[in-house]
Structure formats: structure tokens, C-alpha cells
Amino acid sequence: MTNEVKKMRGRPRIFDMDEALDKALEIFWKRGYEGASIAELTETLGITKPSLYTAFGNKEELFKKALSRYAAGPVAFVSNIVNEPTARKVAESFLFKSAEFLTDASHPQGCMIVQGALSSGESTDIVKNILINYRDSYENLLAVRFQKAIVDGDLSSEDDSKVLAKYLATLHQGMSVQATSGATKKELINVAKLAMKIWPS
């Protein structure tokens, strides 16, 4: 029916926005929000500053878009984890997939949502809070899933879904720091195995 290629009005963009966004994502992932300079971004994307600004708004907007792409791409697996049949499988999947993902050599080590803006100047408070919300959000996803497991009888009513979720989130965030510092996949898997020994059922 309608043509796939939209005929836009003005001069056509010379670069692919999604490809550019992927490159920007990699810079932000590696450098953090503050550590990624517009200069490095434009060089890596192969475009000029005005092109970057007309396409993405400003640095903060670009970061937000790269972050959305990160959430929908590399770490999309987290959202699916809650579909595992048991709470134990959810926890295992979360820890082991984290260990693998965080040390994967095909992209920067560690998690962008964890390290994107931890300690930085006052000017980055907005970005810092966005990342805090993301972290809270996936921790909450786990907590809700474990609460359901308690109702299902999969976990005991004496288990604390929120504490279990925070335990996993804490491990994930710690593993992210470890990965950035050079820890190997093997080491993190061993940590994950050990961590799973607390699992109640």
C-alpha cells in the first residue's frame, strides 16, 4: 500500500540515524555522560556538530536516545527474564546473563545504566536521576516477579521479594564495576554460582 520509503521534504540526511545512535551509544557506554565529549561524538559518528544538533537536539537528548536504544537493544533480555517459569530460574537467568553480558568483548564492559553517570558534576543531576530510575525500575521488575512467586507458592511467604530483588540488583551493579575493572566472564560466573546458593527454593 503506502510506500516504505517516506519522501521527506528538505535535503535528505546523509547519515543513518540508527547507525549514528549506535555509535553514540558506544561512546556514552564507554565514557559515561560527562566523559563523552561532543568532539569525540562527532568524530566517531563522522558528522559535524550542526548535523548532530539538528538530528538529536543536544547532548542530553542524544544521551537519552542512546539510552533508550541501549534498553531496547543490548539489555532487552532483562525485561524477558521475568517470564522464566520459576523465581529461581529468574534469578539464575539474571545473574548468569549479566555475567556474560557485562564481560562480552564485542562491546564496552560493564553496564551503561550503572556507570553512565555515577559521580559527576552538579550539571549532570538530571542524567544521574534518569539512570537511578532505570535501575530502580528493573529492580522493581524483579521484586514484582518474586512477589508473584510468593503468591504462586513458588517462594515462601517468609521470603522478602524486595530484599531478594535488591540482592540481585546489588550483585549486578557490583559485577558491572568488576567487569569494567577487568574481571573475566569466568570469575563473574563463579560469583553468580556462589550467589545463587542463598536461593530459598
Q: Which of 71, 118, 144, 150 binds a second copy (CB under 8 A)?
A: 118
Torsion of CA 99, 105, 111, 116, to 10 degrees: 160
Amino acid at 186: K
198 binds a second copy (CB under 8 A): yes
Cα angle 71-77-80, degrees, rounded to a multiple of 5: 110
Q: Which residue among 116, 142, 154, 161 contacts a second copy (CB under 8 A)?
A: 116
12 scored as a contact of DNA (CB under 7 A): yes
User: Residue 106 carries which DSSP code?
Assistant: T
Q: Enumerate residues 33-52 that contact a second copy by CB under 8 A.
A: 34-37
| Member of 26, 30, 44, 60 binding DNA (CB under 7 A) | 60
> Which residues make Cβ contacts (< 8 Å) with residue 198, sequence separation at least 6?
167
Write each residue from 67 to 106 as x if it is in contact with DNA (CB under 7 A), else as -, in one continuous string: ----------------------------------------
